[in-house]
Structure 1
Amino acid sequence: MLLQEEQYVVNWLSQYGALPRAQVVRMLQKPVRTAEKILRNLLRQGKIEDISGGYYVGLDAMCKPDQRTILAVWVLLKFIKQVEPMAHYPAVYPSQIFFLKENVGYEIVVLYEGEQSQLRLLQPQDDLKYIIVLPHISMAENLRLPNVPCLFATVDFQGGEEPQILFYSEENIHERISGSA
């Protein structure tokens, strides 16, 4: 029988597919050595596999990482201390992840260049907020936003294992874009 944290890891990998080892370690919210021990135990039991030389972990060696999901998980990790381990899961397209934080639902939507029209597919609800992840914040000025609160994020890999994530509100987008023009 798996320990609770081991069950979490298996569940997350079954939901999201292969994830970077660093993300799984952070999601466990344990000291790094403890989290690595949990992963080693799962590897030894054959419940998870190393992928790409151990950079990723997945349920099996053929599991392919999904880059949109990985970006969404990096954003989720900024809120992970306020989110229960099982209170996040894949969302309905075009969103990647849904999570509950303080009884409010959030959906993380990762858009690439030229995908602005995908926001029309969202089904906004009164008790839902969106976090829209963009390759660069200037892309926000061309978006037609749903009529619910939206927050924007950029994920910037600067050579480290973990990216820098910057958040912007709707109000501060316009200031930032007009200030940089």
Structure 2
Amino acid sequence: MLLEDEQHVIKWLSQYGALPKTQILQMLYNKPRSTAEKIIRNLKRNMQITDVGGGYYLGLDGLCKPDQRMILAVWVLLKFINVVDPMAHYPATYPAQLFFLKENTGYEIVVLYEGEQHLSKLLHPQDEDTKYIFVLPNIQMASQLVLPAAPCLFATVEFNGEEIPEVLFYRGGDEEWTTSVRLPER
């Protein structure tokens, strides 16, 4: 019988594929790091999860391939993780990567690469409470998107040589984009 936190880790890896170990540790934000690492060790020992990519990633089996779009979406999710129930986020419908609920509002995280601006036309909000977070390689790309009829937020994920990236959120329009209030670190 798996503990609740172990079940969460298994669920996340089954939904999102292989994820960096750092992300799993941050998703277990409410546990001391030593406890979160113990949860991972126990799952490995019981052969529920395994190292992928030399141990940088964790997956349900060694053949899992990390999906870089999903990994970027999870970095954005992690900025909200302390206000999102562990079971209230899951894969979204294409072209979005991830859906989560925060205070009865649904957010879809959409990761777009350069040249994929046209994919934003495929988004159609299911209800008036849906919001979108577009993760872009650079904020200038936002002015090239055809946005859905829903509130939209824009973000960039900047690694700057670090293992844990800085996620910046933007507001504005046209050529004048400014970073909005950065979300507090946990």
TM-score w.r.t. length of structure 1: 0.94
Distance in 1 separating the partners of 2:22 and 2:173: 31
Counterparts of residues 105-116 of structure 1 (less than 5 Å): 105-116=106-117
How much has 1:175 moved relative to structure 2? 2.4
How much has 1:127 moved relative to structure 2? 1.0
Residue 23 (1) aligns with residue 23 (2): yes
**Contact residue 18 and residue 58 of structure 1 kept, 8 A:** yes
SS in 2 for 1:85: coil
- Mark the CA change 1:94 to 1:107 in structure 2 (over 3 Å): closer, same or farther: same
**Contact residue 122 and residue 146 of structure 1 kept, 8 A:** yes
Counterparts of residues 66-77 of structure 1 (less than 5 Å): 66-77=67-78
Could you list the runs of 4 or more consecutive aligned residues of structure 1 that deviate by over 2 angstroms after TM superposition?
Answer: 171-177
Distance in 1 separating the partners of 2:78 and 2:174: 22
27-36 vs 53-62, greater mean Cα deviation? 27-36
Which residue of 1 is the match for residue 181 of structure 2? none
Identical counterparts, % of pairs? 65
Structure 1: which 5+ residue stretches go unaligned?
Answer: none
Give the total of aligned pairs: 176
Structure 2: which 5+ residue stretches go unaligned?
Answer: 179-186
Distance in 1 separating the partners of 2:132 and 2:147: 10
Q: Deviations over 1:14-48 (max 9, x none)?
A: 00000000000000112211110000000000000
Which residue of 2 is the match for residue 168 of structure 1? 170
Which residue of 1 is the match for residue 152 of structure 2? 150
Which residue of 1 is the match for residue 82 of structure 2? 81
SS in 2 for 1:35: helix
Distance in 2 separating the partners of 1:131 and 1:173: 17
**Contact residue 20 and residue 57 of structure 1 kept, 8 A:** yes
**Contact residue 132 and residue 150 of structure 1 kept, 8 A:** yes
SS in 2 for 1:176: strand
Distance in 2 separating the partners of 1:14 and 1:38: 16
**Contact residue 137 and residue 173 of structure 1 kept, 8 A:** no
Which residue of 1 is the match for residue 8 of structure 2? 8
SS in 2 for 1:126: coil
Which residue of 1 is the match for residue 141 of structure 2? 139
Which residue of 2 is the match for residue 50 of structure 1? 51
How much has 1:176 moved relative to structure 2? 2.4
SS in 2 for 1:23: helix
Q: Which amino acid in 1 is paired with 2:64?
A: C
SS in 2 for 1:166: strand
**Contact residue 98 and residue 110 of structure 2 kept, 8 A:** yes
